[in-house]
Amino acid sequence: MTKTNAAKKGTSYTDGSIFRHISTLSVTSAIGLFAIFAVDLVDVFFISLLGEPELAAAVGFAGTALFFGAAICIGLAIATSTIVAQAVGAARLDNAAASNGEPTRLATHGLVFGAFLTVPLAALSVIYAPQLISLMGAKGHTLDLAVGYFRIVGLALPILGIAMAATSLLRAVGEAKMSMWATIIGGLVNAVLDPILIFGFSMDLTGAAIASVLSRCTVAAVALYFIAYRHQLICKPQWREFLTDSRQLLSVAVPSLITNLAGPFGAAYATTQMAKFGTDAVAAAAVIGRITPVAFAGLYGLSGAVGPVASQNMGAQKWSRVRQTLLSSGLFVTLYVIPVAILLFVVKDALVNMFDLKDEAAELLRFYCTFIVITYWLFGLQLAANPLFTALRHPGYATISNIGRDLCFGIPLVYIGSTLFGAQGVLAGQALGNMLAGILAFSIALWLSKRLEKGDSIDLPYKKLGQRWHFYCAVVPGVQHRGH
pLDDT band for position 162 (cuts 50, 70, 90): very high
Is residue 322 within 8 A of residue 314, CB to CB? The reply is: yes
Per the prediction, the chain carries an average pLDDT of: 84
Given a cut of 60, is residue 99 above it in pLDDT?
no
Closest C-alpha to 59, from 211, 285, 286 = 286
Enter the DSSP assignment of 373.
G
pLDDT band for position 92 (cuts 50, 70, 90): low
How far is the C-alpha of 105 from the C-alpha of 380, rounded, in Å? 33
pLDDT band for position 1 (cuts 50, 70, 90): very low
Coil, strand, or helix at residue 166? helix
Burial of 464: CB neighbours in 10 Å, binned 0-12, 13-18, 19+: exposed
DSSP 90-148: HHHH-HHHHHTTHHHHHHHHHHHHHHHHHHHHHHHHHHTHHHHHHTTT--HHHHHHHHH
User: Percent of the chain scored above 70 by pLDDT?
Assistant: 89
Task: Indicate the pTM of the whole model.
Answer: 0.75
Given a cut of 80, is residue 327 above it in pLDDT?
yes
Tell me the residue length of the chain: 484
> What are the helix (H) ranges across 347-422?
348-354, 359-367, 376-391, 395-403, 411-421
- Residue 27 makes CB contacts below 8 A (sequence gap 6+) with 298, 301
pLDDT confidence of residue 278:
87
